[in-house]
Amino acid sequence: MANVSRDPILLTPGPLTTALSTKVAMLRDWGSWDSAFNAITARVRERLLDIVAGSATHVCVPMQGSGTFSVEAAVNTLVPRDGHMLVLVNGAYGKRLAKLTQMMGRRVSTFETPEDVQTTAGDVERLLAADASITHVGLVHLETSTGILNPLQGIAEAVARQGRRLIVDAMSSFGAIAIDAQAMPFDALIAASGKCIEGPPGMGFVIARKSSLEAAAGNASSLSLDLCDQWQYMEKTTQWRYTPPTHVVAAFAAALDTFDAEGGQPARLARYTKNYEALVGGMRELGFRAFLDPSIQAPVIVTFHAPADPRYTFREFYDRVRDKGFILYPGKLTQVETFRVGCIGAIGPEEMRSAVNAVRDTLSEMHVTRVAPAVPARAAA
């Protein structure tokens, strides 16, 4: 997929570069209560359920705002006020999940591994067996701060065996990594419009187990983040409770058309994998070292160690690469200096190779010759 826009290519995990058809869909104004717009919302909800084979057991509830709004709505609604959530942490978004759970007034415990180490199903089984008070488990499927992919299937099965409930932040995996609601038991799966479906940002959504959502009425301590009330209102009226992001919803529907035309999740994963291979292969030739072992790396966003050369600064590096038409992402780790490059969006391997060339030219302009990190990646981690 080639990007024909003259705008800078966003090599970020969202917002990201969108297809022309998605951009064009935002040129029309919609009435928020109009039946034509409500029909778009209904169809979007159905199609999102289809992606994870969830129509028989789950419902899709869209929410205004960024993905974090929907994460808060899911926790605030589905975890009872006397509930206890175990949050599995190996990056910044796991920490955010724990923080917002605590701020919602719910009891929270954390299990943290290093940022380059997966949480395992065995860890979860052991922790749940040791503490009967835990009612829910919170997992970030693909930790965007590094690109690490956590083993959802095994963790979901472990949670189910222990009779607990699972809430999954699938922000950066939904649409790219295969998820089957019938094979992976979860109470909530949360994602957003501006990620692997390649829509614009501004809308999140929660795919919630219908029976759990029905039982959660009255749990929420927030009016706007009451997922159950949002769902019930949509079911009754076909409308959003409060002003929806109409242009975003319409563009997201167009992005879903492109997603389906490409071949759905398997085709999207295949393209992202080609993007990843072009990126990592080219960066390796320049001397860069990825933070994660390839066995646990998802082809969505890659964290690279920053060059050890004293002439390197991320700000100048970023600005020079941006001037060449590519926008990168700063690192989000605390123990080592890194930067991140996204492989998602309406782009293909050609754009990734061009981005590598832009990095090569930038290093030359900055007179950076020492690209490898000062210490081996595993030691630094």
Query: Per-residue pLDDT tens for 351-369?
Result: 999 999 999 999 999 999 9
Sign of CA dihedral 362, 366, 367, 370: negative
Residues of the chain with CATH 3.40.640.10: 21-260
Specify the DSSP element, H or E, that contains 284.
helix 264-286
Q: Residue 7 above 90 pLDDT?
A: no
For residues 187-201, b (16+ Cβ closer than 10 Å) or e, as one string?
bbbbbbbbbbbbbbb
Supply the pTM of this predicted model. 0.94
Strand partners, 87: 110, 138
Residues of the chain with CATH 3.90.1150.10: 264-380
Q: Given this model, what pLDDT does residue 364 score?
A: 98
Mind listing the pLDDT tens digit for each residue in 243-296? Answer: 999 999 999 999 999 999 999 999 999 999 999 999 999 999 999 999 999 999
- Residue with the bigger pLDDT between 159 and 334: it is 159
Q: Output the CA–CA distances (angstroms, integers) from residue 112 to 46, 95, 115, in the order listed.
A: 35, 9, 9
- List, in order, residues 6 or more apart from 213 with CB less than 8 Å away: 59, 61, 77, 78, 227, 228, 231
Select from 3.40.50.300, 3.40.50.720, 3.40.190.10, 3.40.640.10 the CATH code of 21-260.
3.40.640.10
| Residues 302 and 355 sit within 8 Å (Cβ to Cβ) | no
Please give the share of the chain, as a percent, with pLDDT higher than 70: 96
Number of Cβ within a 10 Å radius of residue 311: 12
Q: Which CATH class is domain 264-380?
A: alpha beta
| Residues 172 and 148 sit within 8 Å (Cβ to Cβ) | no
Looking at residue 273, its amino acid is T
Q: Confidence band (pLDDT; 50, 70, 90) for 380?
A: very low
The full length of the chain comes to: 381
| Residues 62 and 204 sit within 8 Å (Cβ to Cβ) | yes
- Match 């472990």 to its residue by tokens: 158
The DSSP result for 173-208, as a single string, is: TTTTS---TTTS--SEEEEETTSTT---SSEEEEEE
